[in-house]
Amino acid sequence: MLLKNILSFLCSVVTISGICQSFEAVNIPDLTTTPSASRSVNFVDVNGDGWDDIFITNGPFAGQNNMLYLNNQNNTFTTIAADPIVNDNDRSDGASFADVDNDGDLDAFVVTFGANGVGKKNYFYRNQGNGSFVYEPNSAMGIPLTYSEMCAWIDLNNDQNLDLYVTNSVGNLHNLYYENQGDGSFEGVFGLTISGESLPSRSIDWIDYDGDGDSDLFVTNEENHANSLFRNDGPNNFTQINDLTITLSFNNSVGSSWADIDNDGDFDLFVANYATNGEANQLYFNENGIFSEVTNSPVTTAITSSFGSTFGDVDNDGDLDLFVCNAYLGSQDTNFLYLNDGSGNFSLDTGSALALHQGYTFGAAFGDYDNDGWLDIVLGNTLNENQSNALFHNTGTGNNWVKLHCQGTESNFSAVGAVVKLKAIINGTEVWQTRSIASASGYCSQNSYTVHFGLGDATTIEELIVKWPAGTTESFSNITINEAHLIIEGQGTLGQPNFNLGHGVVYPNPFTEQISIAFLGSKNESLLFQVYTMAGKLIFEETVTDSENHTSPPLSFLTKGTYVYTLSNVEGKIVKTGKIIKQ
């Protein structure tokens, strides 16, 4: 039940040998050649084919269309020009993708920044199942006129439906929280602690900082305000924490990223600060919910002006490295790539193509666009509102890895808020690594939903634990390395995340009587189509072939509600799964 992708690298590249980690600047038509004023960068699989696509927002004063590039699975991308998601011609900032209606595809929310004292509307786009989007102008989330910076999805009330949080940074605008009603609509929720502040807020992190099993909220604030931490004490019940070290600094903070940098099981914090004359960034170790500031690290001694940040194991050695975006000093500047030694001690990479890139960079995101097991990175640049973006291919070799695609059933489909832990013997030492599945990262960006672990010289995975947002915990063993796996909540299943449209588009969704499967490509395969209740009980199955489109017999015996479907090949591997609603 495994998937292994071995690809040759075909793009034209510019190579500069790095002293620590090797990256190549990749030349992709449009993606890296179109001057723009970019902000958010998102590595997201919008068409469900198992290959990460790239979405980039643009935010010049006069407005500009956003950009969507579909991955062709051969180291090239197709530029999307006609879809509503790339035709707003507005002043966009942050964006976040997630499956908000639990139908198996990623929907999108894009926030905008007002101008001349007048706020602008934000945009909700619903995915149609094939990577095309419909703009919903009447959504409650897009009605207020705001100066928004960032947005992030999270299921706060544990109803399986993702809710939305939005930060604002101008005037007396409060941050906004919208609750998903489960029927495709959203309602603003006011009077909560998390929506009571009217500070100039920037980044959003939903993170379980205290390890109690729910997602807390961390918000960065600029203009010398302290950053905000809200502890989750139950559905829609938050307590603002003001006495921890991470809430006692008064800086111009715009970005933040959380990760377990010392592999001790809890999430540590990086904060990006900016100033026209430069300002130091901040790094904090988390010890069971108590934080200590690191002041003697290269991460915290450089005087610069930083925005985006993101963690990822770029050298696959079993610890998380840090990338920091620099901008706002009036000219191009190098960004920072810090390599982790495994204990949370960082060294600055000064020789790779990525480290030498001259940008004016706001957003950055990690994702494995060629599915070779090594994290690549895309950068959103904006010098003079007219700079091309950049994509860097990771050319590392030698170390092992594993990738996991988690799908919720009792939890939200995107598994936002899940925590994944992995144990392996690396360099003779037992190492537990921890990841959190999030819908946003750093300033205005989003890493791939595919969970990536570097394994160093480990040849086996001792144990894998998934703590789902719904509260259940599953453990897996005997997981093959150097491959990608699908994990479905409640089924204890490892399968292949090869969600190619050739394996079938299931429609209509919602349905009333019958389900149809449209195959967009044929391998003359026999596939087993199965429908489960949300509790995992098999209630319907039939064998289909991908050589012709198929319509099921009437399913009037099914009661109204949500079900999980799977398509499996003759080897028992799940090649496509999703949720479908009976009306």
CATH of domain 400-495: 2.60.40.1110
pLDDT range class, residue 500, cuts 50, 70, 90: very low
d(CA 196, CA 31): 39
Q: Count Cα atoms within 13 angstroms, Cβ side, for 376.
A: 25
- Domain boundaries of the chain, sorted by first residue: 14-394, 400-495, 506-582
Span 282-303, mean pLDDT?
96
Cβ neighbours of 138 (radius 10 Å): 8
Round the CA-based radius of gyration of the chain to a whole number and report it: 22
d(CA 129, CA 75): 23
Asked whether residue 147 carries a pLDDT value surpassing 60, the answer given is yes
Domain covering 14-394: architecture: 7 Propeller (2.130)
Q: Which helix (H) or strand (E) holds 253?
A: strand 253-259
Span 265-280, mean pLDDT?
92
Residue 498 has a pLDDT of: 39
What's the token pair of residue 162?
């993702």
Cβ burial of 151 (10 Å; 0-12, 13-18, 19+) is: buried
Residue 4 has a pLDDT of: 29
Span 26-38, mean pLDDT?
97
Residue 290 has a pLDDT of: 96
Residue 492 has a pLDDT of: 62
Residue 388 has a pLDDT of: 97
Asked whether residue 397 carries a pLDDT value surpassing 70, the answer given is yes
d(CA 75, CA 187): 41
Amino acid at 63: G
The gap between the terminal CA atoms of the chain, to the nearest Å, is 33
Cα→Cα distances 550→436, 505, 506, 572, Å: 38, 10, 10, 20
**What is the SS3 assignment for 506-555?**
EECCCECCCCEEECCCCCCCEEEEEEECCCCCEEEEEEEECCCCEECCCC
Per-residue pLDDT tens over the stretch 230-269:
999 988 899 999 999 999 999 999 999 999 999 999 999 9
Span 37-66, mean pLDDT?
94
Among candidate residues 342, 164, 189, the one with its CA nearest the CA of residue 263: 342
Which CATH fold would you assign to the domain 506-582? Immunoglobulin-like (2.60.40)
Sheet holding 282-287, edge to edge: 253-259, 268-273, 282-287, 290-294
Do the domains 400-495 and 14-394 match in fold? no
Give the torsion through C-alpha atoms of 452, 457, 462, 465, to 10 deg: -20
Q: What is the DSSP string of 146-209?
A: B-EEEEEEE-SSSSSS-EEEEEE-STTPPPEEEEE-SSS-EEE--SSGGG---S-EEEEEEE-T
Per-residue pLDDT tens over the stretch 82-134:
999 999 999 999 999 999 999 889 999 999 999 888 899 999 999 998 899 99
> What percentage of the chain carries pLDDT values higher than 90?
69
> What percentage of the chain carries pLDDT values higher than 70?
92
Q: What values do phi and psi take at 398, rounded to 5?
A: 105, -55
d(CA 86, CA 512): 33
**SS3 for 354?**
helix
**SS3 for 330?**
coil
d(CA 288, CA 136): 42
**Average model confidence (pLDDT) for the chain?**
89
